[in-house]
Structure 1
């Protein structure tokens, strides 16, 4: 297959490039509308109890409150004549908004719970109409119209889930622009250092551009038929830039290596495709398999990363396999043009010999060199013993975000947080007495401030004399109870309360559904936790099968999986130490909180896939030399000698692409960027540099073991290199060294 692609690139180079240009132009036109198709949210399981409760509330009660206006009197109390007049005018204006429903305020509800303890602030609750993108647009229009100063007597801030989404979308775009502004120049500079010539350095950016533009087009199409998270854009740019550079780096390095060995341009293209091209194909398959596991989760936030991740991997691989050989064939020796001052002709680099010497040193004393590295990685993984999980809320935004300020005020200044109430829905008729009895039981639970129903308000296990009830919470065929708590949202106590409410004895013949933010957290963790073994199992099985087909060994896949888990454990442990335990929070500017469940799973899948990327890079060269007759130790040392510099350079370039998101204002994007970048560096340096040669030395000849029937299977179905032996290459050749004249 790779030989045929090479021949196509050689014989029809210009046609391939013309077709590729037209396809990219078409994808660019299509992908320009991607942002308009993407949504915020997506953290909930649509089949969970909390989601079903929300659906019933949407259908029969006009929807849950998702917009909270915090209104502060500019001078004095909200009960003053001027503040009350302006407050009632504000509420009247909001009730006229066609995009709002269920508007309730302190001034018309006359509930002291909607006024702050100091009397200077009041709450207006509302529901923004619509679903998904429509709701986001509606919220933006309302917030833009009312947030700020109202009639010079009130200041208004917007919060609630709609307020968080309103601020999170633009912040995502700003973070993306800043990250790419930092990453692209740095990557280009590093490419110049690695290759030493301008032409070679620019070629990887061509592949990265194709990958990113292609996935934008994919997201536009997928977003037109199903829900896709706006955060998929971040993975698209980081992974597209990184993998485009990775794959192109491998291809260009092998092509220049062949030219330096005296091969013709056409033969260099053929050999590059049969070796590096094959490696790219297998690498893409392993990365795509890891990211495809995200699609088993019901949350569209995670599925969206599966869509974009698999898309960017496949498009980057296809561009590398078809466009890159055509470019190399057209350029020929001109790939070495634009030589930088530090890349002097004829001077061999030392990068490969350094990695080769390191591998030989490790293999002389495998246990002595590997044990300290393992000890450090296991120590880094230790914070996993205390890891806790949560879901994204307003705390992922900067402290000056108005939705976060609203949430803080509700928590600190009001008696119970109405916006964070649990919503209990009984989707059938209920008599008044059983409903009241049920509300009394719920109000007696620890942490409950009050229970609001259509029959009255209940607290401390009894009815409040001053609580007339809210008729809007009752329907002929359904009842809603709002359980307002005094607990910190998403705390362990709040999660325990969800369980308490769900297990409380309900009116006979009913099956209440419990929703609200804390219930969504419990359901999300249960949903992801329930699907996680399946996802990990799929990743392990597909990785094992692909590496077996690649190497013909059953030991190599097991060795790769074990070392991968060690490096991933260290990475997630360090991220827990930083983002959950709060170390470096002052430097990075985030609020410590439990590890975001979805983002931790995403980081695991991405980091696992990328570590397998480098596993394939290194193993492919080791196997190539082993198949040519070298003994195990020589194949490992020489294989790392040839690929070590490529892997380390690719790792640094890809890590830069992810580390750029450490500048993000949204904390879980910081977590994802820093964690993915750290995982890449740990894998490239500690695992590939030390643990792989140590493991290979300890395994000896058994590293390539497979039972007889599997060897026969691999001989028939495995993808192994077939073709002429590789041209001799100088042992100290480095990808950036120009050793052939430039025509």
Structure 2
């Protein structure tokens, strides 16, 4: 099947390209017509915060949606200064007049609670709450924030001396689209040219990945109208799609070039590449997709939307590698293996432009027209045109003459040292995981110069850190007796350690519920705030309300986040166990071994644990935070699961690609020592190149402003770096050496039971049986390659 698919795409490139073009146009039209509708609402099944939200929804309207923001003002002359007050009052009226927007002004009757009353900023800081309808999605809310900022500028209040006005709240912050992935692409250009030895091959690899990622992003846009898809999902999709897309295309292309160098006709080489490397790609890609879809079993729309979005992107780029790449190979024909001076110069200029785009240095974009000029100049003139000169590549060394083979032999000779030393490094790096605290960051982790962060800091200065995340205690009531019981609860709350103030209960508009606003002494992401929530639920409320018949519930955004984190934490080990168990069974069926999959599971746990440890040290403890622009905060609760699902598939890719070559050599020679070294030498270059590209692509997202994107990018980059170097190059060969032939042991009775999954197909005979299907110049190109000559018709 794989051979037939690759050869059909190779023979019919225009049909394949037309199909992908139609796919892309359809996705683009749907995305343009339907538009995006990203959401970020959190919910946890059967949690107290969810039940509190139901009460708020039923009796307090949009107050229960937890969406909105604030306008925060600081005036050195006081917010009651007549000039300041009149301008601000007009501004608040203008914002309140917007559709589906309500402003609770500090100048409204009863609004004095929104003006700081104590401390050095008493009377100088005020907050106007901005409540928006639940009909707003994330993009619309971000646009509303920008519009409010425009209204502030028009009001002229910022021109009054000593007045600072900021727009607060994550919903109103908006997010800039990512640009730093261009840095990874700039680096990928040079790594791919070095790895595949051709500018055209580099362009095919990158282009295949970009097309898949682009269609995937359009698919996520459409998906956001059907599922709860957070606004960060497209960025994560781009990140993952670029990494795995380049990885998959490079692995297939590298195997294709191996078969061509071995004497295969190009048509046979494409079929053999898909029947060998293509199987590994499908196996790894399907594993990533299934792992990500496993997040749907968590029962949380927010997590399910992220998993589904990433799974769609991975599936599309995998399909592109299996169909679009062979088609382009058929279209490019003999241009795939040579590089001219014009190609190197143009690729270098494009790389400079990508780097400038990613770093925000716009003058470097001028390199694009210069690259076009170089290509045009190199297309005219005769053979004496220096831009048309072909750059000769060194012939590949025999496997046992490569540095990778020598490295493997060094590792194998000191197997115990590298096995124990490498494992010790992984364990040490993973140690911070024991201090992992799941939770959500808040506006205090926004860039210091953003209006969102400055509004957050002003609220903390004027009202205390807990004012950025008040708790809402709600209860349904049936009369004055219930209100009196809640009033007694207020007294108990005000006597509770960790509570700055609790408001008297105020009834809902329909008189059937009441709410108490609790101001904690600590901020939303502080561990003491989480402790306070559990104390209120487990001790204070049951004691104060026992026997009254009133069911008081702790809700609000902070309580939502705590319940969300607790829910995921309780299911995380189950998810990890299911994924690792599935990986063990799959690898056992692939390699017909008990030892190899067991080692793979252990190494996966250690390498991913090490990346988690790095994340805890940097994002939770704040190591190197000033360098990376990171403020310490808990680790977002969905990050470990998402990282695990993606990294599991990527590590399986490398595991299958490396070990299948080792097993192939072992079955051919029966030599358990040199089969390890030969397998490593055959795969190390492409694994290293693919890993280096993914490390930079993922790592470049650390330069983005959004904390979740930084977290995910650094986590993926760290794990790939550990897996492709320490694990694959040192620990795997050393443990393979120590166990020898026992690596491939499987009880006979188990061998008869489990299915046989092959990731290496049956290779065709070396030769040119299909040369009659090729153009004459392509046959000549193959013959020239066999004799180590440069093809004359290369482009």
Task: Report the TM-score when normalising by structure 2.
Answer: 0.83
Correspondence for 1:478:
513
For the residues of structure 2 that align with 1:61 and 1:617, how far apart are their CA atoms?
A: 58
CA–CA separation in structure 1 for the residues paired with 2:636 and 2:152? 29
Shift of 1:490: 2.4
| 2:644 aligned residue | 604
Match of 2:69 in 1: 67
Moved more, 297-306 or 314-323: 297-306
Deviations 1:540-597 (A, max 9, x none): 1322232223222232221111011111111111221122221211111221222222
Matched residue of 1:583: which SS?
coil
**Any residues of structure 2 matched to 1:244-255 within 5 Å, and which?**
244-255=245-256
> 1:404-433 deviations in whole A, cap 9, x for unaligned?
111112112225754521111113425232
Instruction: Tell me the distance in 2 between the aligned counterparts of 1:206 and 1:138.
Output: 33
Q: Is the 8 A contact 1:196 1:339 kept in 2?
A: no
Alignment partner of 1:412 is 2:418: no
The answer as to whether partners of 1:289 and 1:543 remain within 8 angstroms in 2 is no
Mind listing any 5+ residue stretches in structure 2 that lack a counterpart? Answer: 345-389, 768-784
- Aligned counterpart, 1:312: 313
| C-alpha contact (below 8 Å) 1:191/1:201 kept by paired residues | yes
Instruction: Evaluate the alpha carbon distance shift between residue 110 and residue 29 of structure 1 in structure 2; reply closer, same or farther with a 3 A threshold.
Output: closer
The CA distance in 1 between the partners of 2:98 and 2:404, in whole Å, is 67
CA distance in 1, matches of 2:746, 2:629: 51
Structure 2 contact 69–172 (Cα < 8 Å) conserved: no
- Whether the 8 Å CA contact 1:448–1:485 is kept in 2: the answer is yes
Q: Indicate conservation of the 8 Å contact 1:207/1:244, yes or no.
A: yes
Partner of 2:446: 397
Deviation string for 1:434-454 (max 9, x for gaps)? 221222222221121222234
The partner residue of 2:489 within 438, 441, 445 is: 438
Moved more, 546-555 or 263-272: 546-555
Match of 2:532 among 484, 497, 502: 497
From the superposition, tell whether residues 584 and 727 of structure 1 become closer, same or farther in structure 2 (CA, over 3 Å).
farther
Distance in 2, matches of 1:142 and 1:224, equals 24
Q: Which moved more, 1:88-97 or 1:677-686?
A: 88-97
Is this contact kept in 1: 2:438–2:569, CA < 8 A? no
Mapping of residues 244-323 of structure 1, within 5 Å: 244-323=245-324
Q: Whole-Å Cα distance in 2 between the matches of residues 155 and 380 of structure 1?
A: 48
Is 1:347 aligned to residue 395 of structure 2?
Answer: yes
Residues 524-539 of structure 1: pairs in structure 2 closer than 5 A: 524-539=564-579
How many angstroms apart in 2 are the aligned matches of 1:551 and 1:384?
31
Q: 2:757 aligns with which of 708, 718, 731?
A: 718
Per-residue CA deviation, residues 371-423 of structure 1 (Å, 9 max, x unaligned), is 22222222222222322222031133101111211111211222575452111
Q: Distance in 2 between matches of 1:298 and 1:315?
A: 25
**Match of residue 18 from structure 2:** 18
* Deviation, structure 1 residue 204: 0.7
Match of 1:709?
Answer: 749
- The equivalent residue for 1:140 is 145
3-state SS of the aligned residue for 2:581? helix
CA 1:46–1:705: 2 relative to 1, 3 Å: same
Change (3 A) 1:100 1:720: closer
Q: Partner residue of 2:124? A: 120
1:645-724 to 2 correspondences below 5 Å? 645-714=685-754, 717-719=756-758, 721-724=760-763
Is the CA contact (8 Å cut-off) linking 2:466 and 2:521 kept in structure 1?
Answer: yes
Q: Partners of 1:516 and 1:298 in 2: how far apart?
A: 21
Aligned CA RMSD, in angstroms, stands at 2.8
1:83 Cα deviation from its structure 2 partner = 2.9
- The question of whether the paired residues in 2 share the 8 Å contact of 1:95 and 1:101 is answered with yes
In the other structure, the counterpart of 2:590 is 550
Describe the SS at the equivalent of 1:325.
Answer: helix
The 5 A counterparts of 1:321-470 are 321-339=322-340, 344-349=392-397, 353-414=402-463, 417-430=466-479, 431=481, 432-454=483-505, 470=506
Compared CA separation, residues 229 and 185, structure 1 to 2 (3 A): same
Task: Check 1:31–1:253 CA distance in 2 against 1; reply closer, same or farther (3 A cut).
Answer: farther
For the residues of structure 1 that align with 2:568 and 2:167, how far apart are their CA atoms? 27
CA distance in 2, matches of 1:46, 1:740: 67
Aligned counterparts of 2:300 and 2:528: Cα–Cα separation in 1: 25
Aligned partner of 1:222 in structure 2 is 223
Check conservation: 2:7, 2:268, Cα contact below 8 A: no
Write out per-residue CA displacement over residues 626-662 of structure 1, whole angstroms, 9 at most, x where no aligned residue: 3334322222211111000010000001111101101
- The verdict on how the C-alpha distance between 1:100 and 1:634 changes in structure 2, with shifts beyond 3 A counting, is same
Q: Secondary structure at the match of 1:381?
A: helix
Residues 441-477 of structure 1 show CA distances to partners (whole Å, capped at 9, x for unaligned) of 22221121222234xxxxxxxxxxxxxxx55x56422
Aligned equivalents of 2:155, 2:599: Cα separation in 1:
65
* Separation (CA, whole Å) in 1 of partners of 2:511 and 2:250: 67
- For the residues of structure 2 that align with 1:722 and 1:409, how far apart are their CA atoms? 64
Whether the aligned pair in 2 keeps the contact of 1:580 and 1:592 (CA below 8 Å) is: yes
Q: 3-state DSSP class of the match of 1:290? A: helix
Task: Identify if the C-alpha distance between structure 1 residues 674 and 103 changes in structure 2 by more than 3 Å, giving closer, same or farther.
Answer: same
What secondary structure is seen at the aligned counterpart in 1 of 2:79?
Answer: coil
The CA deviation string for residues 266-286 of structure 1, in whole angstroms up to 9 with x for no partner, is 221222122111111112122
2:230 partner SS: coil
How much does 1:308 deviate? 2.3
Is this contact kept in 2: 1:149–1:155, CA < 8 A? no
Match of 2:171 among 145, 151, 165: 165
**Residue deviations 1:199-255 (CA, integer Å, cap 9, x gap):** 111111222023212212321332121111121111221222121211111111111
Deviation at 1:196, TM superposition (A): 1.9
Aligned mates of 2:62, 2:727 — CA distance in 1: 52
My pick for the range that moved more, 718-727 or 417-426, is 718-727
Cα displacement (A) at 1:101:
2.9
The aligned counterpart of 1:559 is 599
- Contact 1:345–1:737 (8 Å) recurs in 2: no
- TM-score normalized by the length of structure 1: 0.89
1:677 Cα deviation after fit = 0.8
Instruction: Specify every segment of 5 or more residues in structure 1 that has no aligned partner in the other structure, as ranges.
Output: 455-469, 729-735
| Offset, 1:22 | 2.7
CA contact (8 A) 1:53 1:515 kept: yes
Report if aligned partners of 2:471, 2:517 keep a CA contact under 8 Å in 1.
yes
Give the SS at the match of 1:226.
coil
SS across alignment from 1:709: helix
